[in-house]
């Protein structure tokens, strides 16, 4: 009986190195590809460009591949114990570096099942990560960007979104990452906030900045990023106007719009009952949701209903009644908001909502109850966390301090040293600034 060889891979971008290791694996027996699922990948690095099914179709077509099976975890151990291959093959790049622990696990498991580990020289000068970086530099189509949010919700315990109000903040969100215990942590997408859009223009957060102006500025971000965008649609305006908003956002490749169930002059929710907060009727807001869903062209675009009951001083029961009605009307997700600092009302809402609905995404904006970690919010049933205004709020104090320093010292030396990045760095910050 021919022996079996196991090869785990992502296979998002096929390159000569991957083909080489596939050919080598075929020499030892029937090659079984453990294809990492989106869920397995998303907890450790960026979501792949192609879906699992798309990647599976590609790999199955490669000569020599006998079988493709899902690998649902980053670790190889569960699949090795399940399929008990005679060999596992891997590049020697895991001898050192962040995947060293995976190698140790594999060696131990293969020894226990009587198998053998085959390590082949890693193809130098070419990597999937490097190729992905090159692809990112080329940009993304609106359709591809739009689809990503739904895939992220399915793949990750919680989707991490950060506010962006200009191209520069978009670039920060696109490229900022840290390595924690071998896992790459980064932001999954951007929040186009009406508050920060207004504030950055020196205007009040009362929908004073029209949609056309906001979209013109948002285009600066879309031009230099590839990650999905969630758009703050405030109240959505009149139903007749909202339908055009949906089509415009969808055409630009925006993944979702969040609209709040309030009427009248927009007042920021964090004012709570200190300002007039008038909710729409359930029927009235449901009609707006239905109109928006009827207007969209694709199945990928999402309309998320933001519930203001807790902001307006109403009960969790009221919020739940509205949530179930909005989902029934076609809402693709629910955002629940509160200005309370303990987060108890948010937790109660989420847990009770999940008792009857285990699939509709819940969005939270923990601006006031910021003591909870993403892992804790995920246990409540929350799928998306939005850090809604932190880029602008962090920039403003630095700019004020810089301005005061110049006034205080009659020069910019101190300000430059304490608050400013070097001129050389800002000149090289954006690719293409210096022409060779």
281 DSSP 8-state letter:
P
CB 19 within 8 Å of CB 7: no
The DSSP annotation for 300-325 comes to S-EEEEEE-TTTTT--HHHHHHHHHH
The sign of the torsion formed by the CA atoms of 345, 347, 352, 353 equals positive
CB 406 within 8 Å of CB 420: no
Among 378, 380, 377, 381, smallest CA distance to 359 is for 381
CA-CA distance, 7 to 32, in Å (whole number)? Answer: 6
CB 415 within 8 Å of CB 405: yes
31 DSSP 8-state letter:
E
CB 80 within 8 Å of CB 109: yes
Q: Which segments of 236-359 are extended strands (E)? A: 256-260, 262-263, 278-279, 302-307, 333-336
Answer yes or no: 205 catalytic: yes
Burial 298-323, CB ≥16 within 10 A → b, else e: eebbbbbbbbbbbbbebebebbbebb
The sign of the torsion formed by the CA atoms of 37, 43, 45, 48 equals positive
CB 213 within 8 Å of CB 245: no
CB 336 within 8 Å of CB 346: yes
59: how many CB neighbours lie within 10 A of its CB?
Answer: 18
Please name the helix (run of DSSP H) or strand (run of DSSP E) that holds residue 174, with its range, or none. helix 167-175
CA-CA distance, 286 to 75, in Å (whole number)? Answer: 45
Catalytic residue among 12, 86, 205, 332: 205
Active centre residues (catalytic):
205
């Amino acid at each position: 009986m021919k022996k079996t060889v196991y090869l785990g891979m992502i296979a998002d971008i096929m390159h000569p190195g991957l083909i080489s290791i596939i050919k080598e694996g075929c020499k030892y027996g029937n090659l079984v590809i453990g294809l990492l699922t989106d869920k397995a990948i998303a907890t450790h690095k960026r979501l792949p460009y192609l879906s699992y099914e798309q990647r599976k179709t590609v790999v199955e077509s490669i000569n020599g591949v006998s079988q493709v099976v899902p690998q649902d975890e980053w670790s190889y151990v569960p699949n090795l114990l399940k399929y008990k291959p005679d060999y596992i093959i891997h590049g020697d790049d895991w001898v050192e570096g962040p995947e060293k622990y995976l190698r140790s696990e594999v060696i131990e498991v293969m020894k226990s099942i009587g198998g053998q580990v085959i390590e082949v020289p890693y193809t130098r000068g070419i990597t999937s990560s490097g190729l992905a970086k090159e692809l990112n530099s080329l940009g993304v189509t609106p359709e591809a960007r739009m689809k990503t949010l739904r895939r992220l919700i399915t793949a990750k315990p919680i989707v991490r979104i950060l506010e962006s109000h200009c191209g520069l903040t978009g670039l920060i969100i696109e490229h900022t990452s840290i390595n924690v215990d071998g896992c790459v942590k980064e932001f999954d997408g951007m929040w186009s906030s009406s508050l920060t859009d207004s504030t950055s223009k020196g205007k009040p957060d009362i929908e004073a900045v029209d949609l056309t102006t906001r979209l013109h500025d948002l285009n600066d971000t879309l031009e230099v990023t590839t990650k999905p965008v969630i758009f703050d649609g405030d109240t959505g305006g009149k139903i007749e106007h909202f339908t055009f908003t949906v089509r415009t956002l969808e055409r630009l490749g925006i993944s979702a719009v969040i609209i709040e169930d309030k009427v009248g002059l927009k007042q920021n929710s964090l004012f709570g009952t200190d300002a007039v907060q008038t909710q729409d009727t359930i029927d009235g807001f449901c009609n707006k949701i239905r109109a928006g869903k009827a207007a969209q062209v694709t199945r990928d675009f999402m309309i998320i209903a933001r519930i203001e009951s807790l902001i307006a001083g109403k009960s969790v029961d009221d919020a739940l009644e509205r949530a179930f009605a909005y989902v029934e009307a076609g809402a693709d997700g629910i955002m629940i908001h509160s200005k309370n600092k303990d987060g108890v009302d948010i937790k109660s809402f989420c847990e009770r909502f999940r008792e009857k609905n285990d699939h509709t995404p819940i969005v939270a904006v923990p601006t006031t109850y910021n003591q909870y970690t993403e892992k804790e919010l995920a246990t409540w049933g929350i799928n998306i966390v939005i850090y809604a205004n932190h880029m602008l709020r962090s920039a403003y104090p630095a700019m004020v301090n810089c301005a005061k320093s110049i006034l205080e010292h009659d020069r910019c030396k101190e300000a430059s040293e304490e608050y400013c990045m070097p001129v050389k760095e800002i000149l090289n910050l954006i690719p293409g600034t210096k022409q060779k």
